[in-house]
Copies of this chain bind each other. A is one copy, B any other.
Amino acid sequence: MNRVLVVDDEPQIVRALVINLKARKYEVDAASDGATALRLAAARHPDVIVLDLGLPDMDGVEVIRGIRGWTRVPILVLSARQTSDEKVEALDAGADDYVTKPFGMDELLARLRAAVRRAEPVGRPEDSVVVETDAFTVDLAAKKAHRDGRDVRLTPTEWHLLEVLVRNAGRLVSQKQLLQEVWGPSYGTESNYLRVYMAQLRRKLEADPSHPRHFVTEPGMGYRFER
C-alpha cells in the first residue's frame, strides 16, 4: 500500500485522480495549494507526490524546492504549460517527471508506478531488510519487530524513528537530522520529543531499557543504533 499526495487547485482533476488511485489501492492525501502541500508532505510522508505547477499561493517550482530541501520522495509534475523551459526548470529543480495536461490516466498511472518502483530501496541480496541483534529483530519491509519470540507493537512515530536509526546502523545520527526526518523539516530543536520516543523504543526493544546497548546516546550530538 503506497501513499500518494495529490496537489492541484482544480477540484475535478483532484477528484479524478483520487478515484483512480484509490481504486488501485493507493492511500491518497490531497492539497489544493502549495502551503498545504508542503505541510502534508512533511506530516504524511507520501511515497510519491503528484504536483500541479499552477497553484494559487506560490510558484510550483518553489514547492518542489521546498520538498527537495529535506526529502528525495519522487515528484511527478502535472502542468498545463508545455514549453520546454518550464519543463527544464521543474526537472532541474528536482522533479522526477513532467506530464502535460491533458493527460492520459493510464500513462500517468504507469509513470507513477515507475517513480515508486525506482524509489524502492535497492534490494541487494546481501543487505537484508531484516536487522537482528541479540535482543530483538526488526524487519523494515514487513514493519515487524520481534523480541523474545513475540511481536512488539510500535506506533507510527516509533517506527519512523527506528527506521532512520537502523538505516544508519553504526553511524551517529544527529538530533536535528532525526527530528527533521521523523517530524518534518520545520523541526530541529525539539529534542524532548526524541527523549520520549527513544525511551519508548528502548522500553519496547532493549533487554535492559535503563542500560541500552543498541540505542546509544551520544550526549550533545545525537543517537546511534548499534547492532
Contacts and interface: CB of A to CB of B under 8 A. Distances in A.
A210 interface: no
A113 to B, nearest CB: 6
Interface in A182-227: 218-221, 224
A181 interface: no
B106 A220 contact: no
B107 A171 contact: no
A53 interface: no
Given A91-B110, A113-B91, A114-B95, A125 B170 contact: yes
Contacts of A218: 143, 153
A84 interface: yes
Copies of this protein in the complex: 2
Contact of A88 (B87, B106, B153, B224): B106
A69 interface: no
Interface in A136-169: 141-144, 153, 155-156, 159, 168-169
Interface string A62-104: 0000000000101000000000110110011011111000001
Interface of A: 72, 74, 84-85, 87-88, 91-92, 94-98, 104, 106-107, 109-111, 113-114, 117-119, 122, 125, 128, 141-144, 153, 155-156, 159, 168-172, 218-221, 224
